[in-house]
């Protein structure tokens, strides 16, 4: 049986410091037990969800920092959604 390896996500960018997140994983005690495999897959699903939430939080924070450094205001998401796929002509 192989040793469990952690679930790891790594991010690198040319403009930001890299980061890596890791969550421990367990493997079923018995490779024959269906119940153990189901439990292991359920834990993996939860770990992936947790890891994705952490990644989203980190990347959102970095995006806000980048916008602040650039001196740009956050995009008006509601206006962007309303005009999605349409050419917007600004009136003078």
| 31 belongs to a structural domain | yes
Q: Residues 38, 40, 46, 52: is their CA dihedral positive or negative?
A: negative
pLDDT, one tens digit per residue, over 29-79 is 666 688 888 888 888 888 889 889 999 999 899 888 888 877 755 556 666
* Residues 48, 36 contacting (CB under 8 angstroms): no
| 76 belongs to a structural domain | no
| 1 belongs to a structural domain | no
Spatial distance between the Cα atoms of 24 and 80, rounded to a whole number of angstroms: 39
Domain range for 58: 7-69
| 56 belongs to a structural domain | yes
Domains in the chain, number: 1
| 16 belongs to a structural domain | yes
Is the pLDDT at 1 greater than 50? The verdict is: no
| 90 belongs to a structural domain | no
This prediction has a pTM of 0.60
């Amino acid at each position: 049986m192989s040793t469990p390896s952690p679930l790891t996500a790594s991010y690198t960018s040319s403009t930001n410091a890299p980061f890596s997140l890791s969550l421990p994983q367990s493997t079923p005690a018995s490779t024959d037990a269906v119940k153990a495999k189901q439990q292991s897959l359920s834990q993996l699903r939860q770990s992936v969800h947790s890891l994705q939430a952490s990644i989203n939080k980190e990347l959102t924070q970095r995006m806000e920092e980048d916008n602040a450094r650039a001196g740009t205001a956050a995009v008006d998401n509601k206006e962007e959604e309303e005009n999605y796929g349409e050419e917007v002509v600004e009136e003078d």
